[in-house]
Chains A and B, each alone.
Chain A
Amino acid sequence: AQKITQTQPGMFVQEKEAVTLDCTYDTSDPSYGLFWYKQPSSGEMIFLIYQGSYDQQNATEGRYSLNFQKARKSANLVISASQLGDSAMYFCAMRGGGATNKLIFGTGTLLAVQP
């Protein structure tokens, strides 16, 4: 069975500093995808970044980068130069093999950016 673990219920970071949100996963599928979503207080899940299991390089999208360590089964999200608007819940998710694109989510990390 697939599983996503996020061990940090909450994190604080100072504005303009970088922060790393942890995510570990478990799967027996040889091919899978890892995603990070942001959920502000409004409730909508916003896609941030994707990493495929066969991708050779770590994914980057603007201030977001994914530190993918396949042997350790970790896919940590790094946010550089934090902004007040980054305060939100962050969810790590995994999509396994098979025909569906169904995502399995972790429990999330609440990030608070302090001025």
Chain B
Amino acid sequence: DTGVSQDPRHKITKRGQNVTFRCDPISEHNRLYWYRQTLGQGPEFLTYFQNEAQLEKSRLLSDRFSAERPKGSFSTLEIQRTEQGDSAMYLCASSLGSGTLSGANVLTFGAGSRLTVL
């Protein structure tokens, strides 16, 4: 297992363009999370999937953002009509989850996708 993979690692785009990020979690992990991290801040939760079901979305996730996990494996995060304020690192994480609080369900993060909107 090679851990959580994210692609692309870096994306530079012009304002108004659409961008899509992909996350491949650890294969046996049923939970997948997207976070956003801006400079000098800690990661902020965006959304969470258990298998293919999107169970929670943050108010940070405006209607320009959409995330999918169609087969319960990889996930995509799309940002439509990008704005300069969308410039950030987008982090994906995965974990096991049984619905109970357990220290074993550590979130494993990918290296992130850095978005720069010009």
How many angstroms between the C-alpha atoms of A99 and B100 in the bound complex?
Answer: 6
Q: Quick one: given A100-B48, A102-B45, are A44 and B109 in contact (CB under 8 Å)?
A: yes
Q: B48 is contacted by which of A44, A93, A102, A106 (Cβ under 8 Å)?
A: A102
A interface, CB within 8 angstroms of B: 4, 31-33, 35, 37, 42-47, 50, 52, 91, 93, 95, 97, 99-108
Across chains A and B, the number of contacting residue pairs, with CB separation under 8 Å, is 68
Binds A, one of B15-23, B61-69, B75-83, B88-96: B88-96
B interface, CB within 8 angstroms of A: 31, 33, 40-45, 48, 50, 55-56, 89, 91, 93, 95, 97, 99, 101, 103, 105-112, 114
Task: Please list the 3 inter-chain residue pairs (A to B) with the smallest Cβ-Cβ separation, ordered nearest first.
Answer: A105-B42, A45-B109, A44-B111
Please state if B45 and A101 are interface contacts (CB–CB under 8 Å): no
